Structure 1
Amino acid sequence: MSKITGHCLCGKVSYQVDKLEPRMAHCHCSMCRRFHGAAFATYGEAKTEHFRWLSGSEYLKKFTAENGTVRQFCSECGSSLSFAPANDDGRFIEFSLATLDSDLDLKPDAHIFVAYKANWFDICDSLPQHQEGRE
């Protein structure tokens, strides 16, 4: 896979992914829904050595939720950029696929935390649905 780039809405924060991991998911938890202002958030994953911020790291702000999860966003435009679970060991970074600059050959492979999905949204595809996370 060739290098992939992405950026926030205002363009102040940009990143590059050299190698994308195959796991991608649509997360339906209430925190992701609120953070993205949508029925779900879709995240890709990369090993940290295959991901780097190209510009604007000074605009990155972190929000740590009560459950210990950490979300990063652009302090200028508010774009959601990355997510880290409470038990993050630093080996991977999850990033918002909606911030990519180009199309991908891979597709999301699951819906996670569907026990918390918006009641006004129906999942209409055949991807596996996990009530909580994958594990």
Structure 2
Amino acid sequence: MELQGSCHCGKTGFTVISHTPCPFAHCFCSICRKTDGGSGSAINIMGDYNTLKVRGKEFIKEYRAIRDPDTGELCGNMRYFCGECGCHLYGYCAEYKDCVYPLASAIDTPLPKVDPVKDSIYIMNDYRAEWVNIPAGAKHVFPQYPDISLHDWHVNNKRLIN
């Protein structure tokens, strides 16, 4: 499925092919919470990095967060934003060089719906802001990272798109 995304001011945009377009994973880590805004979480989906086409590259800014303030260790994920309006567009991690992680909030293409109680997962819950509510009865709440990948979740739930 081709996904089209953009920032708020329209100076940047992108397209990417995704076989895993369901916006299901809400990450509450401090980095996602602070850089995404909104619900206090980032909802990443996965795309094929080799198909990523970016418009307005001259406006794109990069941010690499500090993972551990005590040691200064940097996060492996590089975050890409519009330098004009500040919209977080996608992330990239060299460790997973074939993948790019657009934020669901940046996608303009209609995305498949998921049930926030039975399908969505809520990760890094140990870092969730107190004011953020997880839906009552949510079945998949993890204090840290789960034991399932974006790809495997889509396969297990028969949501992988070829």
Taking structure 2 as the reference length, the TM-score comes to: 0.72
Q: Is the 8 A contact 1:72 1:83 kept in 2?
A: yes
Match of residue 43 from structure 2: 42
Match of residue 72 from structure 1: 80
Say whether residues 1:120 and 2:131 are aligned partners. yes
Distance 2:97 2:32 in 1: 20
Alignment partner of 2:108 out of 92, 101, 108 = 101
Distance 2:100 2:110 in 1: 19
Alignment partner of 1:88 out of 92, 95, 99 = 95
Taking structure 1 as the reference length, the TM-score comes to: 0.84
CA 1:101–1:92 in structure 2 vs 1: closer, same or farther (change >3 Å)? same
Match of residue 146 from structure 2: 134
CA 1:84–1:4 in structure 2 vs 1: closer, same or farther (change >3 Å)? closer
**Number of aligned positions between the proteins:** 132
Task: Show structure 1 runs of 4+ deviating over 3 A.
Answer: 106-109
**Unmatched tracts of structure 2, length 5 or more:** 68-73, 148-162
Distance 1:134 1:47 in 2: 22
CA 1:84–1:133 in structure 2 vs 1: closer, same or farther (change >3 Å)? farther
- Name the structure with the higher strand share: 2
Distance 2:64 2:100 in 1: 15
Q: Is the 8 A contact 2:80 2:88 kept in 1?
A: yes
Distance 1:73 1:22 in 2: 20
Q: Deviations over 1:1-34 (max 9, x none)?
A: 3x22110011111111222325641111111111
- 3-state SS of paired residue (1:88): helix
Instruction: Return the index of the structure with the highest Cα Rg.
Output: 2
